[in-house]
C-alpha cells in the first residue's frame, strides 16, 4: 500500500473548518471575501483566516487558501494587497488559476507556496512539467481526466510535484476553467466565483424537456484502494457552499474508509457499508463515478431527473400568507436546511426551517405522510419539490470565540563559521564570538541550523522562515547551540520592534509590486491592425486577401498558416498531438497558437517557432502577459469575457501586442459527458444554443454570433469561423457594454 494521501475538506466558513478538523481532515481549503471561486458562500474575514491558520498549525493540520479566479486589469492593485496579506498570514499554500496571479506571487511574494487550481487546466503530464518549471508544489487535476489517464500521468510526475484529485461532491458539466455559460446569460462569471449554475436548469430539445447539462454527484468511496495505489498526494472533497453538517458526514466517512484501507483491503471492505451509511447523511445528489470511467461519464447526466441537490423530502401543496403547506415524504426537523425547487428547474430559495405549525400549534418535526405549514418570507410556487440539503448544524460559536490569532512572525538569516555566529532579523543584527572545532563524523548542516532556530520558543513571537549558511566542517555541541539560542532570544525580545516583523518585509514586497504596476512597459502598436481568421477546410475565406489563416490540427494547416492546438489533450493523446506538431514543423510551419499553459512545455523543443495565444487560454491582466512573454509568446489574445474598458486597459498595459477576439460563436461549455440530446437546446427564456459533438467532446455554443467593435490599442483582430459564417446578422455583444461580475 502506498503512503496514505492527505484528506482535504472544504470550509466555506470558520464553523466548517472546525467541523472538518474534528471529523478527521488533514487539511482544509477556504477563501477570503474576494478573489475566490466560491464568492457565493460566507468565506473568511482576514481575522478569521488568521485564527484558523493558527489553530490548524497548532494541531498539526494545514490550510490552503483559494485565490482561484480570473483577475481583471483594474483589480491588480487589490490583488497586490491580498497577496501581501496572505504572505503575512502564512497559509500552507495558495490555490491559483490566473497566470497573472502565478507570475505576481512568484515574482513579488516569494513566501507563498503555490498550488495550481484545476481551473488552470494542467490536466496531463505536460501540465505537471509546467508546474515543476514554475516551482508549483501541487497540481489539482481536472475532474474530467479518467482514472486510466491519471495513473499514466502519475508515472511521469516530476519529482517534487504533488497531485490532488477530487473524490466527492458536486460536478460541473464543463471542463474546468473554460465555462462561459453563466457569464453569457447575464455577466455572472463562473471563472470569477459568481456562477449562477445554468447547467442545473431545464432545457428543451427535440428529445423533450429535461436537465441536459446537470451532472450527478461524484463519489469515489469504492475506488479508494485503487486511487491510493496511484500515488496521488491529496484527496479533495468538494463543497464550500455546504454547511458544517455536510462537512462532518463526508469527512468522517472518507476518514474511516482511508484508515481502514491503510490496514488492508479486507479491512476497507469491512468498513465500507458503515462509511456509505455515514455519507448518505450528507444530502447530495445521486452518486456516480463522475468522469473517471467511460461508463460513468456515459451515464452521468440523467436529463429526466431534476438537477437539484439534496434529499427529496416532499412537495409544496399550497402557498399562503407567510409560508407554504408542505406534504412530507421524508423527516424534516427544526434547524434543517431545505431548498424549494420549482419544476422549471430554475434556482429555488434556500430556507432554514425555524418555524413549523399545524393549525395553531407549533411543530418541531414533520414525518413522512404528515402535512405542516412552514413559515418563511421567501417566495415559493405551488407544486415545487422540497429537498433537504442539510441537517441542524453544530454550534461552534463558543469555540470560534476562543480562537487566538497567530504570533507575530519573523524571518531570520543565520550565518556561522568557526569563530562567530551572526543572526539578522529585519534591521536587527546579533553577533557572538565562537571557538568551534572540526567535526569528526556529524558536521553541522544548514538545514539542521535552520530547523533549530525555526522550532525554538520565542514566547509571543514566531519564526516562520530561516535562511542558514554554514562555513566549514563544524562541530557544534547541542549544549552550546542551546545556549546560543537562549542568548539570541533574550536579545530579540529586548530589542524587537515592528520593523523586525514579517509585516515590514511584506510591505516592501507590496511596494515592489505596485512599482511594477506603474512601470510604463506597454508594447508599441502598429497603426495597421492585423486580421486573422480561424478557418476550417472547405470553408470560404472572408472577403479580402490580407487574412492570416489559422487551422486546427484536424484541418492540416499549410506551412504558411498557423497551427491551433486543442486546449484539452488527455494523457492518452499527448503523443499523437506531439507528432502532429513535429510534422507541422518539419513541413516548414513557423507559427503555433497555444490554448493552454501546458502547451508551453510541449513546444519547448522548438525554439524557432513563433507562438501566439488563443481562446480558451485566459489572458485577463498584464501580469499574465508578463509570464507569457518569458516563454517567448509574441502576441496575446485578450479574454473575451471582458468588458470594453478592461479590454482597452489591458491592451494599453500589455508588454506584448494584443489581439481582440471580435467575431464568432465561442464555445460556452465543453464536456466529456454524454449529452442525451442533439441539435439545439432552448432555455426557459427562449435563449437558443447549439450542441456539437467532436470525438470525445461535446460543446455548447450560442445560436447568436459574438460580434464586438474594434478596441483601441489592439494590434490584431480575430474572426472565428469554425461555427459561424462571415457577416451573420443575429449577433450579441456578450459583456462588452456591461461590467463583468
125-153 pLDDT, tens digit each: 999 999 999 999 999 999 999 999 999 99
Instruction: Return the SS3 of 279.
Output: helix
d(CA 409, CA 88): 8
What integer pLDDT is reported at residue 285 of this predicted model?
A: 82
User: How large is the average pLDDT for residues 353-362?
Assistant: 94
Nearest-10 crossing angle of helices 76-89, 622-630: 70
* Weakest mean pLDDT among 208-212, 503-507, 598-602, 657-661: 503-507
What integer pLDDT is reported at residue 526 of this predicted model?
A: 55
Using a pLDDT cut of 90, give the percent of the chain over it: 81
What integer pLDDT is reported at residue 371 of this predicted model?
A: 97
Of 147, 99, 103, 91, the C-alpha closest to 119 is 99
Which of the listed ranges 310-314, 498-502, 690-694 does the model predict with the highest average pLDDT? 690-694
* Residue 695 scores a pLDDT above 60: yes
pLDDT band at 356 (very low <50, low <70, confident <90, very high): very high
pLDDT band at 528 (very low <50, low <70, confident <90, very high): confident
* Weakest mean pLDDT among 175-189, 216-230, 504-518: 504-518
Of 316, 337, 262, 189, the C-alpha closest to 7 is 262
Virtual torsion, Cα 468, 469, 472, 475, nearest 10 deg: -10
d(CA 187, CA 603): 35
What integer pLDDT is reported at residue 499 of this predicted model?
A: 66
Q: What is the pTM of this model?
A: 0.89
Span 270-282, pLDDT tens digits: 999 999 999 988 8
Output the CA angle 386-166-182, nearest 5 degrees. Answer: 55
User: How large is the average pLDDT for residues 454-464?
Assistant: 86
d(CA 306, CA 384): 11
d(CA 115, CA 131): 9
- What percent of the chain is helix, strand and coil (3-state, nearest 5)? 30, 25, 40
Q: What is the DSSP string of 587-606?
A: TT--EEEE-STTHHHHTTT-
* Residue 2 scores a pLDDT above 90: no
Classify residue 568 by its DSSP letter. Answer: -
User: How large is the average pLDDT for residues 104-124?
Assistant: 95
Which domains does the chain carry?
A: 6-170+217-283 (3.20.20.70), 311-399 (2.40.30.10), 410-517 (no CATH), 530-665+704-732 (3.20.20.70)
* Residue 124 scores a pLDDT above 60: yes
What integer best gives the mean pLDDT of the chain? 93
Instruction: Return the SS3 of 7.
Output: strand
* Residue 525 scores a pLDDT above 60: no
Residues 6 or more apart whose Cβ sits within 8 Å of residue 235: 5, 6, 7, 8, 164, 165, 167, 224, 227, 254, 258
* Residue 522 scores a pLDDT above 60: no
DSSP run (H or E) holding 517: helix 502-517
Span 601-654, pLDDT tens digits: 999 999 999 999 999 999 999 999 999 999 999 999 999 999 999 999 999 999
Residues 6 or more apart whose Cβ sits within 8 Å of residue 505: 411, 426
What integer pLDDT is reported at residue 520 of this predicted model?
A: 59
* Residue 308 scores a pLDDT above 70: no
Output the CA angle 674-675-677, nearest 5 degrees. Answer: 135
d(CA 60, CA 407): 16
d(CA 300, CA 518): 49
What integer pLDDT is reported at residue 1 of this predicted model?
A: 53
* Weakest mean pLDDT among 177-186, 367-376, 385-394, 396-405: 385-394
Amino acid at each position: 500500500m502506498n503512503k496514505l494521501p492527505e484528506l482535504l475538506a472544504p470550509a466555506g466558513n470558520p464553523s466548517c473548518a472546525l467541523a472538518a478538523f474534528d471529523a478527521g481532515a488533514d487539511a482544509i481549503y477556504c477563501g477570503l471575501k474576494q478573489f475566490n471561486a466560491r464568492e457565493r458562500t460566507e468565506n473568511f474575514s482576514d481575522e478569521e483566516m488568521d485564527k484558523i491558520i493558527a489553530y490548524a498549525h497548532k494541531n498539526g493540520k494545514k490550510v490552503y487558501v483559494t485565490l482561484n479566479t480570473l483577475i481583471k486589469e483594474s483589480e491588480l492593485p487589490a490583488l497586490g494587497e491580498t497577496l501581501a496579506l496572505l504572505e503575512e498570514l502564512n497559509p500552507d499554500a495558495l490555490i491559483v488559476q490566473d497566470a497573472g496571479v502565478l507570475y505576481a506571487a512568484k515574482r513579488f511574494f516569494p513566501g507563498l507556496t503555490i498550488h495550481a487550481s484545476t481551473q488552470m487546466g494542467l490536466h496531463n503530464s505536460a501540465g505537471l512539467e509546467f508546474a515543476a518549471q514554475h516551482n508549483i508544489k501541487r497540481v489539482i487535476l481536472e475532474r474530467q481526466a479518467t482514472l486510466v489517464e491519471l495513473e499514466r500521468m502519475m508515472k511521469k510526475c516530476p519529482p517534487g510535484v504533488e497531485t490532488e484529485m477530487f473524490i466527492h461532491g458536486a460536478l460541473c458539466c464543463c471542463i474546468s476553467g473554460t465555462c462561459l455559460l453563466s457569464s453569457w446569460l447575464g455577466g455572472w462569471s463562473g471563472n470569477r466565483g459568481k456562477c449562477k449554475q445554468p447547467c442545473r436548469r431545464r432545457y428543451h430539445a427535440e428529445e423533450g424537456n429535461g436537465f441536459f447539462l446537470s451532472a450527478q454527484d461524484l463519489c469515489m468511496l469504492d475506488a479508494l484502494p485503487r486511487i491510493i495505489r496511484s500515488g496521488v498526494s491529496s484527496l479533495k472533497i468538494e463543497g464550500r457552499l455546504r454547511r458544517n453538517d455536510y462537512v462532518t458526514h463526508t469527512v468522517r466517512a472518507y476518514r474511516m474508509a482511508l484508515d481502514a484501507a491503510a490496514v488492508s483491503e479486507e479491512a476497507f471492505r469491512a468498513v465500507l457499508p458503515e462509511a456509505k451509511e455515514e455519507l448518505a447523511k450528507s444530502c447530495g445528489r445521486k452518486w456516480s463515478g463522475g468522469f473517471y470511467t467511460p461508463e460513468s461519464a456515459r451515464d452521468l447526466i440523467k436529463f429526466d431527473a431534476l438537477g437539484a441537490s439534496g434529499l427529496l423530502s416532499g412537495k409544496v401543496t399550497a402557498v399562503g400568507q407567510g409560508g407554504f403547506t408542505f406534504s412530507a415524504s421524508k423527516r424534516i426537523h427544526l434547524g434543517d436546511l431545505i431548498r424549494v425547487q420549482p419544476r422549471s428547474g430554475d434556482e429555488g430559495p434556500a430556507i432554514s426551517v425555524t418555524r413549523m405549525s399545524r393549525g395553531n400549534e407549533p411543530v418541531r418535526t414533520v414525518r413522512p405522510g404528515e402535512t405542516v405549514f412552514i413559515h418563511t418570507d421567501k417566495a415559493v410556487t405551488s407544486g415545487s419539490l422540497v429537498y433537504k440539503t442539510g441537517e441542524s448544524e453544530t454550534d461552534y460559536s463558543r469555540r470560534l470565540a476562543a480562537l487566538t490569532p497567530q504570533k507575530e512572525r519573523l524571518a531570520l538569516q543565520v550565518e556561522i563559521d568557526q569563530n562567530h555566529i551572526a543572526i539578522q532579523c529585519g534591521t536587527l543584527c546579533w553577533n557572538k564570538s565562537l571557538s568551534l572545532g572540526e567535526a569528526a563524523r556529524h558536521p553541522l548542516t544548514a538545514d539542521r541550523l535552520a530547523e533549530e532556530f525555526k522550532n525554538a520558543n520565542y514566547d509571543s513571537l514566531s519564526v516562520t522562515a530561516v535562511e542558514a549558511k554554514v562555513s566549514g566542517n563544524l562541530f557544534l555541541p547541542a549544549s552550546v547551540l542551546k545556549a546560543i539560542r537562549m542568548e539570541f532570544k533574550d536579545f530579540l525580545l529586548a530589542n524587537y520592534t515592528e520593523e523586525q516583523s514579517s509585516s515590514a518585509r511584506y510591505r516592501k514586497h507590496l511596494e515592489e509590486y505596485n512599482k511594477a504596476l506603474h512601470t510604463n512597459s506597454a508594447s508599441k502598436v502598429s497603426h495597421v491592425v492585423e486580421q486573422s481568421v480561424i478557418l476550417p477546410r472547405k470553408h470560404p475565406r472572408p472577403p479580402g486577401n490580407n487574412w492570416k489563416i489559422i487551422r486546427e490540427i484536424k484541418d492540416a494547416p499549410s506551412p504558411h498558416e498557423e497551427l491551433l492546438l486543442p486546449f484539452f489533450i488527455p494523457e492518452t493523446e499527448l503523443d499523437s498531438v506531439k507528432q502532429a506538431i513535429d510534422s507541422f514543423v518539419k513541413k516548414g510551419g513557423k507559427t503555433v497558437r497555444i490554448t493552454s499553459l501546458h502547451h508551453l512545455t510541449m513546444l519547448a523543443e522548438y525554439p524557432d517557432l513563433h507562438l501566439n495565444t488563443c481562446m480558451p487560454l485566459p489572458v485577463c491582466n498584464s501580469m499574465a502577459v508578463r509570464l507569457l512573454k518569458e516563454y517567448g509568446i509574441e502576441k496575446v489574445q485578450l479574454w473575451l469575457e471582458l468588458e470594453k474598458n478592461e479590454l482597452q486597459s489591458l491592451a494599453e498595459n500589455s508588454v506584448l501586442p494584443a489581439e481582440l477576439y471580435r467575431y464568432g460563436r465561442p464555445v460556452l461549455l465543453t464536456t466529456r459527458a454524454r449529452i442525451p440530446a442533439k441539435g439545439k437546446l432552448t432555455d426557459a427564456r427562449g435563449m437558443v444554443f447549439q450542441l456539437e459533438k467532436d470525438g470525445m467532446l461535446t460543446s455548447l455554443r450560442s445560436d447568436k454570433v459574438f460580434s464586438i467593435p474594434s478596441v483601441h490599442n489592439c494590434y490584431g483582430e480575430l474572426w472565428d469561423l469554425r461555427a459561424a459564417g462571415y457577416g451573420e446578422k443575429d449577433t450579441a455583444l456578450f459583456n462588452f457594454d456591461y461590467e463583468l461580475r
